[in-house]
Structure 1
Amino acid sequence: MELKGIEYSINLFVEGVGLSIDKAFEKGSTKEEMTKIFLETFCDYCGGLNFYFPKKYAKDCQNAARDRLIRKEFNGKNHRELAVKYGISLHWIYKILKNKNSN
């Protein structure tokens, strides 16, 4: 499935942040070096992309990421365990699993 629009940009951004963090920890020995390496790597990877982060969107992104993890970790019978792990109701777990196609 090909990602389009905002989902593609978000995935590219997240991948860029992850790679940049990995490289910074691998090659930097001081906070300043790590910051410089992170920014250089991130700019190389995501340079040219435009990002706008509305305040409300952060919570939506967190919930979407949580929901994807819940779907990924679901084994068919661990509803209650997931509810406890993610601090949400059992009813909400069922709702997330039912709406597989969202997020």
Structure 2
Amino acid sequence: MSKAAQDRLFKSKGPELLVNLADHVTDSVKDVLGVSGITAEHLGQEVALRMSQVWCGQLIYFPSGTQLKSAQTHLQIFEAFNGRNHDEVATKFGVSVQHVYKVVKLIRKETLRDMQGDLFSGDSNELPKE
């Protein structure tokens, strides 16, 4: 069967969820990786079919990713902060100046912790985790 015939069959007979998933993967592959249209479509369909094989018949819950989105925003706030622009950053992200202070303090603390490691955990011969 030709690729064109497979594409038509997938789009006409495939379940709506799989067709929709394939379309989203296709768009993402085009946008993020710059892959051409036909290759991106084939990749989108392949991902949808493989997910169907792995999870067929199961009810799946997709979390909204609120915590991840919040962490990404915090990192953006931290990166926009230059030491003197609390007001500007607060306005840009629609948060209070106090929130900017808290975020900067939190990210600095996490960054230092990641760089220094924990002197009192586990085996002293262990290398710090990256």
| TM-score, structure 1 normalization | 0.52
| 2:92 is the counterpart of 1:61 | no
Match of 1:36 among 36, 41, 46: 41
Aligned counterpart, 1:3: none
TM-superposed deviation, 1:35: 6.4
* SS of match in other structure, 2:89: helix
The question of whether the paired residues in 2 share the 8 Å contact of 1:24 and 1:38 is answered with: no
Deviations 1:67-94 (A, max 9, x none): 0111111111111111111111111000
| Structure 2: unaligned runs, 5 residues or longer | 1-27, 52-60, 112-130
Q: Give the number of the structure with larger relative contact order, counting CA–CA contacts within 8 Å between residues 6 or more apart.
A: 1
Whole-angstrom distance in 1 between the partners of 2:105 and 2:68: 19
Change (3 A) 1:76 1:24: closer
The question of whether the paired residues in 1 share the 8 Å contact of 2:87 and 2:97 is answered with: yes
Whole-angstrom distance in 2 between the partners of 1:89 and 1:70: 12
Whole-angstrom distance in 2 between the partners of 1:89 and 1:22: 34
Change (3 A) 1:92 1:37: farther
Deviations 1:46-80 (A, max 9, x none): x9xxxx7434xx21111100001111111111111
Deviations 1:5-61 (A, max 9, x none): xxxxxxxxxxxxxx7243676523xxxx586266269x4xxx9xxxx7434xx2111
Change (3 A) 1:59 1:34: farther
Match of 2:106 among 96, 99, 103: 99
| TM-score, structure 2 normalization | 0.42
Whole-angstrom distance in 1 between the partners of 2:41 and 2:75: 32
| Structure 1: unaligned runs, 5 residues or longer | 1-18
C-alpha RMSD of matched pairs (Å): 3.9
Whole-angstrom distance in 2 between the partners of 1:59 and 1:21: 26
Aligned counterpart, 2:95: 88
Aligned length: 75
